[in-house]
Amino acid sequence: MRTQVVIIGAGPAGLLLGQLLCRHGIDNIILERHTGAYVLGRVRAGVIEQVTIGLLDEAGVGARMHEDGLVHDGVQICVDGVRHRISFKELTGKTVMVYGQTEITKDLMDGRAALGAPTVYAAQDVALHDIFADRPRVTYRAGGEAHEIVCDFIAGCDGFHGVSRTSVPPDTLTTHERVYPLGWLGILCDTPPVSEELIYVRHRLGFALCSMRSPRRSRYYLQCSLAEDIEAWPDERFWQELRPRLDEEARHRLVTGPSIEKSIAPLRSFVAEPMRFGRLFLAGDAAHIVPPTGAKGLNLAASDVRYLSRALIEHYAEKSDAGLAHYSERALARVWKAERFSWWMTTTLHRLSDNPFDQKLQLAELDYLFRSKAAATVFAENYVGLPY
């Protein structure tokens, strides 16, 4: 087989890139390790920035998002039982939208199907070859048969555990990592959210987040140890641990119910540099991971795709490789700022140590955030997404 761009991975990065390329007449094939149903079943991110909204519109898949997505003008932060609000709208003129990653994935899959673009699900043993040559190749197995695709470029959109990043010569790659000694225990349930806006909770018992997917579906998280066994967390125990971390009003409004999903996600900061290796370009979680505290993972994947799609369109339409040459540098400049913000949110809101000095610093940091318009503006600018 022959195509212009092979995209490895049908997560948000791969599907969005495929959609944008198709709309500019650039042929692409997506290879995905799992089935479509498995990809759709993963409950992950929920808060999207305006730039991501804009890209989904550009990809022609934004209609349902505008109908069902919840526009949020601000966010609430509860510190030891006292709630504070930061208004994005007043400080930056911008907002964010709550719209689940599963819904975005569905919209992108439907959009791709409508264009008739090829996706190979359940592709096994995907391997990259000749990435520094003019005609790289990708091989894989599907339906019990071996296949080979010759292409111009490969987009490695296959997440942190994918094959793309590990296919590059180790001496060409530098990685930076911070693994936090905790995870997020999350549950999803069909109950009305406790608040119209997200509530980030800093409490001496540990971090919590009250989030939502719709006016009828809530998502709650608790800070937990990495050794935690999910089986040891029946729903009742989750609610018992959440309640005392909330302020009085939230406790009063909390509607509990049976969970429809429960999972533990480890918290990690990771960056691989550069993001280009010959004709292989990494995008999204394949190149970087942020702890979910700043809601940046999906948005960063989208911003990589913005740079990469424009660079590929420029290559084919204008015969210019300037965008491709600068892709890694441009994407990483944004990645590191999101890494900084996500690290700041994580270290400021979680109980990371028992050292009273660290806890006093957290409280001073938050007090400054609530009292200083400059500090609140810095927070709001980063939360709604920095400009390109």
Ligand X SMILES: Cc1cc2nc3c(=O)[nH]c(=O)nc-3n(C[C@H](O)[C@H](O)[C@H](O)COP(=O)(O)OP(=O)(O)OC[C@H]3O[C@@H](n4cnc5c(N)ncnc54)[C@H](O)[C@@H]3O)c2cc1C
Among 284, 308, 315, 346, binds ligand X (CB under 6 A): 284
Contact residue for ligand X among 5, 6, 14, 102 (CB under 6 A): 14
| Rounded least distance, CB 19 to ligand X, Å | 13
136 in contact with ligand X (CB under 6 A): no
29-37, 241-249, 309-317, 349-357 -> range binding ligand X (CB under 6 A): 29-37
Residue 296 among the catalytic residues: yes
Radius of gyration of the chain (CA): 21
200 annotated active-site: yes
* 120 binding ligand X? (CB under 6 A): no
Q: Is 266 a catalytic residue?
A: no
Q: Smallest gap, in angstroms, from Cβ of residue 186 to ligand X?
A: 7
Identity (one letter) of the amino acid at 264?
I
CB burial string 191-229: b at 16+ within 10 A, e below: bbbbbebbbbbbbeebbbbbbbbbeebbbbbbbbeeeee
101 near ligand X, rule: CB under 6 A:
yes
Listed residue (203, 212, 210, 269) closest to 97, CA to CA = 212
* Catalytic-residue membership of 373: no
128 contacts ligand X (rule: CB under 6 A): no
Q: According to the binding rule CB under 6 A, does residue 291 interact with ligand X?
A: no
Burial class (CB in 10 A: 0-12, 13-18, 19+), 251: middle
Which residues does 354 contact at the CB level (< 8 Å), separation at least 6? none
Catalytic residue among 200, 221, 307, 327: 200
292 belongs to the catalytic site: yes
Q: Token pair of 373, please?
A: 């318009």
Residues 54-73 within binding reach of ligand X (CB under 6 A): none
Could you give the CA distance from residue 254 to residue 181 in angstroms, rounded to a whole number?
A: 29
Could you tell me which stretch among 63-71, 145-153, 157-165, 358-366 binds ligand X (CB under 6 A)? 157-165
Torsion of CA 298, 302, 303, 305, to 10 degrees: 140
Beta strands, E only, 231-366: 259-273, 276-277, 280-282, 288-289
Active-site choice (203, 296, 315, 350): 296
For residue 216, report the phi and psi dihedrals to the nearest 5 degrees. Answer: -120, -5
Q: Which is nearer to ligand X, 32 or 107 (CB)?
A: 32
46 touches ligand X (CB under 6 A): yes
Burial 86-123 (b: 16+ CB within 10 A, else e): bebeebbebbbbbbbbbbbbbbbbebbeeeebebbbeb
Stretch that binds ligand X, among 55-63, 151-159, 325-333, 364-372 (CB under 6 A): 151-159
Which residues make up the interface to ligand X (CB under 6 A)? 8-14, 31-34, 39, 44-46, 101, 123, 126, 157-159, 161-163, 263, 265, 284-285, 292, 295-298, 301
So which residues are the catalytic ones? Answer: 72, 200, 292, 296, 383
